[in-house]
Amino acid sequence: MTTNDKISRRKFLQAGSAAVAVTACPGLNAADTVAAAEFPGINRLQRKAALPAARGARVVIVGGGWSGLTLAKYLRRFNPAFDVLLIDRQSAFVSFPVSNAWLADQVELDFLSHSFFDAANNHDYYFMQATVLGFDRQSRRVYTERGTVDYEYLVLAPGIEYDYPRIGVDDIEAQNLLFHRYPGGFVSSSELLTIKRKIHRFNGGTFLLNVPNGDYRCAAAPYERACMIAAVFKQRRVRARILLLDMNSDIKIKKAGFSRAFTDVYGDYIEYLPSSEISAVDIENRRIETDFDEYDFDDAIIYPPVRASRLIEQAGIDNPEDPQKAPATEPFKYHLLDDERVYVTGDSRSQPFSKGGHTAHSEAQYVAEVIAAHALGREVSWRSPQTMCFSAVDIDPLRAMSIITYYKYNRDSGLFAFDRTHLIDRWDVQGGQASLAWAEGMYRDMFYQS
């Protein structure tokens, strides 16, 4: 900062304009501006984040999940002249895929946990742990809790959030209470730790789980989780009933396999109830209401329908007609309709591809190529993401089934649909081993292998 900068800045603050300076930061509202006036430290949000100087056109990626990690690696592969910065609010990566098997002690937490530093060191990009507060597309600037970062390209891969009002929980305090007491286990790793503790300490009674409706994250995972929890209860000889309330009219995926598992393997534990649209939750009395019934429970995992990250809505780029609040993007190129510098990928995307880690990983390799091509004035033809999903059904040894699918675009309807699909809905030990080998391969690609 030059002396002139300092003088003009001091004058600016003396003039009582601190509040105005901070409102320029997207994501902060009027209440925050009062705090800024009383607590000038907030003004650091307006300063540049302390980062190494960019070595080329900077691509900023928001979110170090399956999508962001893959993009960070492949962007530099397709265009080594890019300077890539990956930002995530978490200090470490914990995998959701295979976490259901971890709940049933089939892998260690080490298997799921990986360091962002290893990924960045091995793939020659920079990682910054920070929460992104917003961004300004005109000045091409991202605002984080550690200061601002300028970009040439911005990729938003911040994943999903729960949409509690869609199960009748509108009050913010009640949403927080529900999230802490009965976390869904689909957004953050603390939820998973709480869930594991719950199921290994459950002493008997009704344990309630649900499957949300809409385009929720990982179609098979709630059914898989019911199997893994039943396996734990069976092993611990707990007298428990798992009430699986499905907000859909039927099992959404691997139907024959899961139906068989619910009756043949876990008939004494799992009670599956389709078309159970949750309309209210009485947290204190541990009671859930559906359109037709009420259910009491002793403990629960409540997984509400999901929506794209609020970062997208707060930036005013969401499609208001979309219940998922995803942005309006070019369906083959992933950029905002009016901005070829901003891309949205992974589970926040608007395309109806399955919300899965494998989908996000294969899609991100393609989007990295699209962005690299844009910078070089080239074009890339569209290719479908691939969805691959293993589901654990039984334990010791782990037994799993799987599905692989692609997507095609129907020009007449203007919609994407499933294309070639390969389903194995008989679980076995080979499937269990393949599921772990698949995950290891994914972690190797995102974190270790150059």
Residues in contact with ligand FAD by CB under 6 A are: 62-68, 87-90, 96-97, 99-100, 131-132, 157-159, 185-186, 217-218, 221, 309, 311, 346-347, 355-358, 360, 389-390
Nearer to ligand FAD, 18 or 361 (CB): 361
State the nearest-atom distance from the C-beta of 13 to ligand FAD, in Å.
28
Neighbours of 175 (CB within 10 A): 18
Nearest to 320 by CA among 308, 305, 333, 335: 308
Nearest to 136 by CA among 9, 333, 343, 316: 316
Nearer to ligand FAD, 347 or 369 (CB): 347
> Which position has the token pair 């698949």?
438
Helix axes 189-201, 221-236, angle to 10 degrees: 30
Q: Which residue is nearest to ligand FAD (CB)?
A: 65
What the block records as the tokens of 285 is 């009395």
Nearer to ligand FAD, 18 or 157 (CB): 157
Nearer to ligand FAD, 89 or 234 (CB): 89
State the nearest-atom distance from the C-beta of 97 to ligand FAD, in Å.
4
* Alpha-helical segments (H) within 182-282: 189-201, 221-236, 255-260
State the nearest-atom distance from the C-beta of 304 to ligand FAD, in Å.
13
State the nearest-atom distance from the C-beta of 360 to ligand FAD, in Å.
4
DSSP result, 347-384? GG-SS-----HHHHHHHHHHHHHHHHHHHTT-------
Which residues are CB-neighbours of 19 under 8 A, at least 6 positions away?
Answer: 33, 34, 36, 37
State the nearest-atom distance from the C-beta of 291 to ligand FAD, in Å.
26
Nearer to ligand FAD, 36 or 157 (CB): 157
Nearer to ligand FAD, 278 or 308 (CB): 308
- Sign of the C-alpha dihedral computed for residues 446, 447, 448 and 450 taken in this order: positive
Distance CA 431, CA 434 (A): 5
What the block records as the tokens of 304 is 């509400």
State the nearest-atom distance from the C-beta of 188 to ligand FAD, in Å.
7
Nearer to ligand FAD, 37 or 434 (CB): 434
Tally the residues of the chain: 450
State the nearest-atom distance from the C-beta of 379 to ligand FAD, in Å.
25
